[in-house]
Amino acid sequence: MATMGQFGNDLYSGARSFRFVERRRWWYLISIALVLISILGPLARGGFQIDKAFNLGIEFTGGSEFTVSNVPDTNQQIASDAVATVDSQLVPKISIVGSNSIRVQTQQMTNEQTDAVSVALATGYGVPDTNVTSSFIGATWGADITTQALRALIVFLVLAGIVLALYFRTWKMSLVAIIALIHDVIITAGIYGITGFEVTPGAVIGLLTILGYSLYDTVVVFDKIRENTTGQTRDASLTFGQQVNLGINQTLVRSLNTAVVAALPVAAILFIGAFVLGAGTLRDISLALLVGIVVGTYSTIFLAAPLYAGMRMREPAIKKNDTRLRELQEKARERADA
Amino acid sequence: MRNLIWLAVIIAVLVVGTGAGVLFGSGTWTPKLALDLQGGTQIVLTPKVNDTTVTEEQLKQAVAIIRQRIDASGVSEAEINTQGSSNVVVSIPGTPDKETVARIEASAKLDFRPVLATSGPTNEVANADGTTSTADPANIDPNLPSTPLVQPSNGSDMNWVTPALAAQYQAFSCASEDVQSASTAPVDLPLITCDPSNTVKYLLGPVEVDGSDISDASAGIITTQTGASTGQWAVDIVFDPAGTKKFADTTTRLVGLTGAQNQFAIVLDGLVISAPSTQSAITNGKPQISGGFTQTSAKTLADQLKYGALPIGFQVQSSDTISATLGAAQLLSGLLAGAIGLALVIIYSLIQYRALGFVTILSLVVAAVITYFTVTILSAQEGFRLSLSGVAGLIVAIGITADSFIVYFERIRDELREGRGLESAVDSGWRRAIRTIIVSDSVNFLAALVLFILAIGNVRGFALTLGLTTIVDLVVVALFTHPMLQLLARSRFFASGHRLSGLGHMSLNAVYQGRGRFQVTKSPGVKETKLKSASREAARRQTIAERKAALDAADRGES
């Protein structure tokens, strides 16, 4: 693909340039719209109750547990079919306990459903009704895990903000990197609320992975922008916005390549998980990851970098310099035209 | 070259480490899998009979404490939840040993009580005529006064010993079932109990200090006053200010007493694990518990004390193996999907970077080898278990690892565009790329570290995977990818800018004409490009000039 190399060359030299910074208000609008949809979508589904807005897995909510003892055949498919006869939307967690018992865990059911599943399980395995017991089980991902994880996240965000502010020598880069991160997490979480995909611990872990990816992606592009706007490689004839825009364009091939390379394996998992296996852990994890990778790449280019440029361009010193440069550029253009 | 040798050393150490684990320990050649993929053991804990009223709050608390205890023993991806209204279910991958079960089930209720009296473990009474008889608990006269005649002034006051209590003490046998109920005895009354081996019977005063006043506990080896190690294990306790005060008051009082009353009983789950005599008052709030500990039992008790006592005593109701909740189908599909994804990545890299794509693939292979063996060693040594989400996390790591190569390659291309020779472009591209790679990896590593230290449960397993892949990324890009490129830059194929090298002149504007000589061709949209000098510096200036011209052109064209 010589064209991709040529594309990279043109982006590098500035011969071809996408106006990410100039049109930033459009990108802001798109991001605001996406964030609003991601918040309002789940709200429309279930209001302010988190367990209604999201389809939380039994790891978070607890649920019903059935134990079928002394089964002649430990085929797990029978249990899966039995649950499906009562509610085909339920995805049960089935395991064999000991040598001849089956444990089936599902989301919380009504009393009628519980009875129906018990009967279906007994019939399916060909055992008397008395061999099936049911009970309520609590969450394995309890409030204590969530609290600790949130606490850790806040500590991380504060530390990361400080580290980035020190490295880039401006708190503004650090702030917009964190804004982009929150943007990505809200949109990724929103997809779950809107599609109703089950939120499992796997999905939460996926969301955490995205958090890392999003920040990582932003840092890589910001490092090039920092190089363009400060130091020796700085081109003094460009306005601040142009310098930032050049940085985004120069790293665009890298951004695309990284996003594709990261997304390909995840897309493969999502495809196999969703279309070959149907619902399950793989689908739940890979959805978060795929959406997060796409949104994370998008937000770096279209949100974080333009936002940074916008913030810095308001600084009086930069504003003054930019006005001067724009006049010079205008004159040079007129000369060239003449 | 030295870097490649270091890399070989690292891989050799990992392989030998894993091999040694297999030969001499409990290690394996493959990582251990978590509950969802491999199954494990399901332990149902039920409250001891005398705790009939269990509140939901107590149960939740018990789950949280058990989780912390399990976390303290390694990254095991255990699942803990409540079942029904009073049971706690703990699911652990693999087969837990006795130690693990004890760690989970013990209530670890620690009390400090003053000793009032001690004697042999039986309820035999020496009669005046030299014979012995057995005092039967059933024969205690119910009319004996059971409330102290004089209100006891402190925990060591012998007024606690009422005639009824004295008779009970005499009739108490360590072999009897009564010892079992000692763990739930009232804290404000005297207690009759024994040591764990049933060799001494104790009559203890009310609780002076209890486990909730402990702020930290750790296992350590007892040292003598001169600092020499005795080789005996003990648990070091640190009290909070309230506990320190209470403990100081009590020990100050006990120093002045003699005989059994000088002793201080350390009561764990109703049994006296140690009853040292009080040599001096302990006012710094840092007592040490000794009493025949091994390294493991000292560590277990320290962990239990640190995370607090369970609000209720539990016993194992059933312990069964459970199969994986995700069938083998899910794991296979996951691995298949991973393989398809990898194949796609390989194809994409080859299209994008031609021959350099092979460097990417080889680097990913090296990263995979290092990750595999590290995960295997972690799983043998630290109890790390790979769950399906963990596998997915590793697959995403492909992206972050490959990104380092992409950042690096693009930097080299940038340097070539600036007009550098290949060898110098590799070196200066590396210097700039490694900065970016280090800062972005540091952020990821920071996330891993914070989550590992602060979070609990499955999140810790994730943090370990993230931290691991981040370090592997740095190691591979520095010790493999960079040296490989340095070597390749010297080869004719790459140095001549072959069009399949991925760094060829077709994809870059500069036509490389041999060491240090360039000709920059016109790029579209640029009107004036004349390169007068063939020197590198001039080529660099020219490209900047080009860039300005192009920017102006672009501005004009679009606005």
- Full domain range(s) for residue A44: 16-53+142-337
Rounded CA separation B232/B229 (Å): 8
CATH number of B439's domain:
1.20.1640.10
CA-based nearest residue to B41, from B100, B84, B83, B85? B100
Count of C-beta atoms within a 10 Å radius of residue A275: 9
The predicted structure's pLDDT at residue B518:
43
Output A148 or B292, whichever has higher pLDDT: A148
Residue B82 lies in a domain: yes
Number of structural domains in chain B: 4
Determine whether the interchain pair B548/A237 forms a contact, defined as Cβ–Cβ distance below 8 Å: yes
Query: Which residues in chain A have their CB less than 8 angstroms from residue B524's CB?
Result: 10, 15
Residue A273: what pLDDT? 75
CA distance A44 to chain B (A): 30
Using a CB-CB cut-off of 8 Å, the residues of chain A touching B352 are: 1, 4, 257
Strand B314-322 and strand B40-47: pairing?
antiparallel
Interface subset of B 404-463, CB within 8 angstroms of A: 406-407, 410, 413-414, 417, 432, 435-436, 439-444, 446-448, 450-451, 453-459, 462
Residues A279 and A328 in one domain: yes
Same domain membership, residue B117 and residue B85: no
Give residue A204's pLDDT band: very low, low, confident or very high (50, 70, 90): confident
Chain A interface disruption, residue of B38, B307, B394, B450, most A CBs within 10 A: B450
With the CA atoms of B73, B76, B81 and B86 taken in that order, what torsion angle do they form, in degrees rounded to the nearest 10? -40
Residue pair B548/A237 in contact by the 8 Å Cβ criterion: yes
The answer to whether residue B432 is domain-embedded is yes
Q: Do A286 and B451 touch (CB under 8 A)?
A: no
- The residue out of A85, A116, A137 marking a domain boundary is A137
pLDDT for residue B512: 42
Same domain, A331 and A276: yes
| Alpha carbon of A160: minimum distance to chain B alpha carbons (Å) | 6
Based on the fold, state whether residues A67 and A119 are members of the same structural domain: yes
* Interface contact B550-A15, CB threshold 8 A: yes
CB nearest A205 (choices: B325, B447, B462)? B462
Instruction: Flag if A213 and B450 touch (Cβ within 8 Å).
Output: no
Residues B475 and B551 in one domain: no
Residues of A in contact with B396 (CB under 8 A): 209, 213, 262, 265-266, 289
> Is A301 inside any structural domain?
yes
Query: Would you state the torsion angle of the CA atoms of residues B223, B225, B228, B234, taken in this order, to the nearest 10 degrees?
Result: -10
pLDDT given at position A298: 94
By C-alpha distance, the chain A residue nearest B441 is: A216
Residues 6+ apart with CB under 8 A from A211: A153, A181, A184, A185, B447
Question: Are A86 and A116 members of one domain?
Answer: yes
pLDDT for A74 equals 82
Domain boundary among A137, A163, A187: A137
* Chain pair A-B, CB pairs under 8 angstroms: 318
**Residue in chain B lying closest to A243 (CA):** B551
Q: Are residues B219 and B282 in the same domain?
A: yes
pLDDT > 80? residue A128: yes
Asked if B411 and B536 sit in the same domain, the reply is no
Q: Check whether residue A104 and residue A163 sit in a common domain.
A: no
Would residue B512 count as lying in a domain?
no
Nearest-Cα distance to chain A for B495, in Å, is: 17
- Mutation target among B35, B412, B443 for the A interface, most CBs of A within 10 A: B443
The one-digit pLDDT tens for each residue of chain B (559 residues) are 678 888 888 888 888 888 888 887 777 888 888 888 888 888 888 887 655 577 888 888 888 888 888 877 776 678 888 888 888 888 888 887 777 787 787 777 788 888 888 887 777 766 666 666 676 766 677 777 777 777 777 777 777 888 888 888 888 887 766 665 666 677 788 888 888 778 888 888 888 888 788 888 888 888 877 777 777 888 888 888 888 888 888 888 888 887 788 888 888 878 888 888 777 788 888 888 877 788 888 888 888 788 877 777 788 888 888 888 766 667 777 778 888 888 888 898 888 888 888 888 899 899 989 999 998 988 888 778 888 777 777 877 777 788 888 889 888 888 888 778 888 888 989 998 999 899 888 988 998 898 888 887 778 888 888 899 999 999 999 999 999 888 888 887 777 666 666 665 434 444 444 444 444 444 443 333 333 333 344 444 445 555 555 555 555 544 3
Assembly ipTM: 0.84
Query: What's the pLDDT score for residue A31?
Result: 94
Residue A308 vs residue A14, higher pLDDT: A308
Could you give phi then psi for residue B277, rounded to 5 degrees? -85, 150
CATH number where A26 lies: 1.20.1640.10
Is B237 contained in some domain? yes
| A130 occurs within a structural domain | yes
Let me know if residue A192 belongs to a domain.
yes
**Shared domain check, A80 and A46:** no
Instruction: Report DSSP state, residue B187.
Output: T
- Across the interface, do A262 and B323 touch by the CB < 8 Å criterion? no
**What's the confidence (pLDDT) of residue B37?**
82
**Co-location of B78 and B175 in the same domain:** no
Query: In this structure, is residue A11 part of a structural domain?
Result: no
- The three-state secondary structure class of B206 is coil
Asked whether residue A259 is assigned to any structural domain, the reply reads yes
- A231 and A272 housed in the same domain: yes
Please state the length of chain B: 559
Q: What is the model's pLDDT at position A177?
A: 94
B234 shares a domain with B300: yes
Number of domains in chain A: 2
In a domain, B321, yes or no: no
Domain that holds residue B75: 41-98
Domain ends where: B309, B337, B367? B309
Q: Tell me which of B258, B279, B309 is where a domain ends.
A: B309
- The mean pLDDT value of chain A amounts to 85
Quote the pLDDT of residue A84: 86
pLDDT of B539? 41
pLDDT at residue B555 in the model: 52
If we measure between CA atoms, which residue out of B400, B404, B410, B407 comes closest to residue B502? B410
Measuring CA to CA, which residue among B529, B549, B547 is closest to residue A333?
B549
CA distance B533 to chain A (A): 19
For B23, other C-beta atoms within 10 Å of its C-beta total 8
Q: Are residues B90 and B123 both part of a single domain?
A: no
Q: Of the candidates A97, A121, A137, which is a domain's last residue?
A: A137
* Same domain? A212 vs A75: no
Are A336 and B552 within 8 A, CB to CB?
Answer: yes
User: How many angstroms separate the CA of residue A145 from the nearest CA in chain B?
Assistant: 6
Cβ distance B426 to B412 under 8 Å? yes
The count of C-alpha atoms lying within 13 angstroms of the C-alpha of B60, restricted to the half-sphere facing its C-beta, is 10
* Domain-embedded: residue B320: no
Residues B114, B198, single domain; the answer is yes
List the single residue in A101, A264, A282 with the smallest CB-CB distance to B334: A282
Closest residue to B544, CB basis, from A99, A235, A266: A235
- Do A35 and A111 fall into the same domain? no
Task: Give the minimum alpha-carbon distance from B487 to chain A in angstroms, rounded to a whole number.
Answer: 23
In this complex, do A148 and B456 lie within 8 Å of one another by their Cβ atoms? yes
CB contact under 8 A, A95 and B39: yes
Distance from CA of B330 to the nearest CA of A (A): 8
Asked if B188 and B204 touch (Cβ cutoff 8 Å), the reply is no
Task: Classify residue A216: in a domain, yes or no.
Answer: yes
| Domain identity same for B94 and B119 | no
CATH for B248 = 3.30.1360.200
Domain shared by B126 and B150, yes or no: yes
The answer on B484 and B420 residing in a single domain is yes
- Are residues B209 and B266 both part of a single domain? yes
Please check whether residue B319 lies inside any domain of the structure: no
Task: State whether A170 and A284 are in the same domain.
Answer: yes
Question: Does residue B28 sit within a domain?
Answer: no
Question: What pLDDT is attached to residue B132?
Answer: 67
